[in-house]
Amino acid sequence: MKLLALAGIAFALTGAAPPAHRHRAPAAGLKFVDLIPAFDRIWNETKDLPDDKRVEAFEAKFAKVLPGFYSAERTKDYQTPDQHRAQVLRGLKQYPDRRAGIQRVSRQFQSLVAPARKQFESVFGPMRGYPPIYLVDSFREFDGGTRDLPEGNRLLFGADMIDELYKDKPIKPFIEHELFHLLHHRTFPECDPVWCNLWEEGLATYVASKLNPNASDQALGLTIPAPLRPAVEAHRQEAICAVRSRLESKDPKVYAPLFMGGGKPVSDNLPQRFGYYVGLLVVSDVGRHRTLKQLAALTPDQVHRLVEQSLEHMATCPTAIAA
């Protein structure tokens, strides 16, 4: 304690401020890291190995680049180890046929994200202090999204799916959708119930639509696997009531047909992922008198109540609603 006091006196005498009072440099801005060159190198290093050794060798080498991404541990909630291994092996074998498109996205990656980042930050402010954002070969798992890795939750873009999905449509709305998820998670932590996902995905879609007023449903991700808007509008009460009945569920089997495009369909009238469009309807309703920043700042408790109220206003559902 005496040493600390003497140090304080010394700083006062010399006119220097104690370390705690010194100006700190601002946190670094967003960093986009292209891992396709590393993937290509490791693919070449392991391509001649037999199948029973190739996956393990590839995963071990890539773990030094991005720990955990290609591991069975990351996918254990929805894949068995054998299924995971088969997917990785299939992806490695398919890479030569997809290489040209993946390499194209890799070359263009920085120029693809720059316009989206510029406009996004002009609205929400500088994105500082976030972990790196990675470009990977997702083996057809995603075009973009967050994943839990040993180093923490990370936003990743899948070069393979970007090449497949965005050759003929604008990519800027999609990138801004994903950037908003990154920003939103600071004030709205990920949570499991359907109402959470309804808000998170609906709000990200709404933000992308507001930043890109002329964006088509295709550019907003509302046409996969089928056009969502016309299907929901044609069966609006059924769609709204189906979501209301599932709001509190945390079951992945309930969540999947609403947002993931998997599992048993809710009905023959409603396509997989129709929850994205219902979420957009909810946020559009809640956002009538709120700015994008105000919507982004709403707390989970506020959102829970607003989602329930909005859906209740949209349709009259049976009293006894069962998932």
pLDDT tens string 207-223: 999 999 999 999 999 99
In which band, very low, low, confident or very high, does the pLDDT at 150 lie, cut at 50, 70 and 90? Answer: very high
Residue 2 has pLDDT above 90, yes or no: no
Question: What span, in angstroms and rounded, lies between the C-alpha atoms of 270 and 225?
Answer: 11
Instruction: Over range 19-24, report the average pLDDT.
Output: 56
pLDDT at 230: 98
Instruction: Over range 229-250, report the average pLDDT.
Output: 97
Question: What span, in angstroms and rounded, lies between the C-alpha atoms of 209 and 219?
Answer: 9
Instruction: Over range 293-297, report the average pLDDT.
Output: 97
Residue 25 has pLDDT above 90, yes or no: no
Residue 249 has pLDDT above 70, yes or no: yes
Residue 21 has pLDDT above 70, yes or no: no
pLDDT at 321: 47
Instruction: Over range 81-89, report the average pLDDT.
Output: 96
In which band, very low, low, confident or very high, does the pLDDT at 190 lie, cut at 50, 70 and 90? Answer: confident
pLDDT at 23: 60
Q: Name 152's Cβ contacts closer than 8 Å, sequence gap at least 6.
A: 131
Question: What span, in angstroms and rounded, lies between the C-alpha atoms of 227 and 153?
Answer: 31
Predicted TM-score (pTM) of this structure: 0.86
Task: List pLDDT tens digits, range 156-167.
Answer: 999 999 999 998
Task: List pLDDT tens digits, range 192-208.
Answer: 899 999 999 999 999 99
Mean pLDDT, the chain, integer? 90
In which band, very low, low, confident or very high, does the pLDDT at 168 lie, cut at 50, 70 and 90? Answer: confident
pLDDT at 246: 96
pLDDT at 323: 46
Q: Name 286's Cβ contacts closer than 8 Å, sequence gap at least 6.
A: 295, 306, 307, 310
Residue 28 has pLDDT above 50, yes or no: yes
pLDDT at 96: 98
Question: What span, in angstroms and rounded, lies between the C-alpha atoms of 145 and 31?
Answer: 16
**Higher model confidence: residue 319 or residue 253?**
253
Instruction: Over range 71-87, report the average pLDDT.
Output: 92
Task: List pLDDT tens digits, range 257-271.
Answer: 999 877 788 999 999
Instruction: Over range 102-107, report the average pLDDT.
Output: 98
HSE value, Cβ hemisphere, 13 Å, CA-based, for 134:
24
pLDDT at 4: 32
pLDDT at 24: 64
Residue 3 has pLDDT above 80, yes or no: no
